[in-house]
Chain A
């Protein structure tokens, strides 16, 4: 069953604009991760945020986590055409011992950045 659900399913923006994607999940987690997938390719890990963290930055990426609302958001600032991809959140459930296995992936948000 799906643990994480991304919203929106698709997002189209202009280059230079910011893109925000949201993820909601159902059960307690040890950490939440965001991945990017270019069309038909393997997923690339972007960022991991632990359950005791509220915000994390990596370059143009900013991730927030609200465990009380069981939600996370991924913000990409100053987007570029090369950011066009699908973005997935993945949750590491609490009963896994926090060892980064049995990740449950959402269905993804398709981001299109128009030049």
Chain B
């Protein structure tokens, strides 16, 4: 099974609808992230969470909200979707091992392609 899963994989919705994208991970990582990717652009950070009680805004949080239901689950919501939120959305996780001095990269889910009409 994949370490980081996202549902749905594809979603088409209409302007004004509320949408929730879900992310689950089996890596046991504390840190989770939501990014969006637009054609020709790199990834931009929407929100990130260090643990269940710690949620932080990223570069482009306006129009989005998140919920960290458990260590393994991190959801992204669009309260009232608009067309310029059409993008590819990625969830990612990472470990924090400062004491061991070991740093790994972030582990990404397969992405959710969201289209807002």
A residues at B contact (CB < 8 Å)? 1-2, 4, 31, 33, 35, 40-46, 48, 50, 88, 90, 98-108
B residues at A contact (CB < 8 Å)? 4, 31, 33, 35, 40-45, 48, 50, 58-59, 88, 90, 92, 94, 96, 98, 103-111, 113
A42 and B104 contact, CB distance less than 8 A:
no
A102: nearest residue on chain B (CB-CB)?
Answer: B45
A41-B110, A45-B105 known; A106-B96 Cβ under 8 A:
no
Q: With A and B bound together, what is the CA distance between A1 and B44 in angstroms?
A: 9
**CB contact between B88 and one of A1, A40, A88, A107 (< 8 Å): that residue:** A40
Q: With A and B bound together, what is the CA distance between A100 and B44 in angstroms?
A: 15
With a cutoff of 8 Å between Cβ atoms, the chain B residues found around residue A2 in the complex are: 42
**CB contact between A100 and one of B41, B96, B111 (< 8 Å): that residue:** B96
Q: How far does the Cβ of A59 sit from chain B's closest Cβ, in whole Å?
A: 15
A100-B96, A101-B94 known; A45-B42 Cβ under 8 A:
no
Q: With A and B bound together, what is the CA distance between A98 and B35 in angstroms?
A: 20
Q: 4 more A-B contacts (CB under 8 A) besides A1-B59, A40-B88, A98-B98?
A: A42-B111, A50-B103, A101-B48, A104-B42
User: What are 10 A-B pairs at a CB distance below 8 A?
Assistant: A35-B105, A41-B110, A41-B111, A48-B105, A99-B96, A100-B31, A102-B48, A104-B45, A105-B35, A108-B42
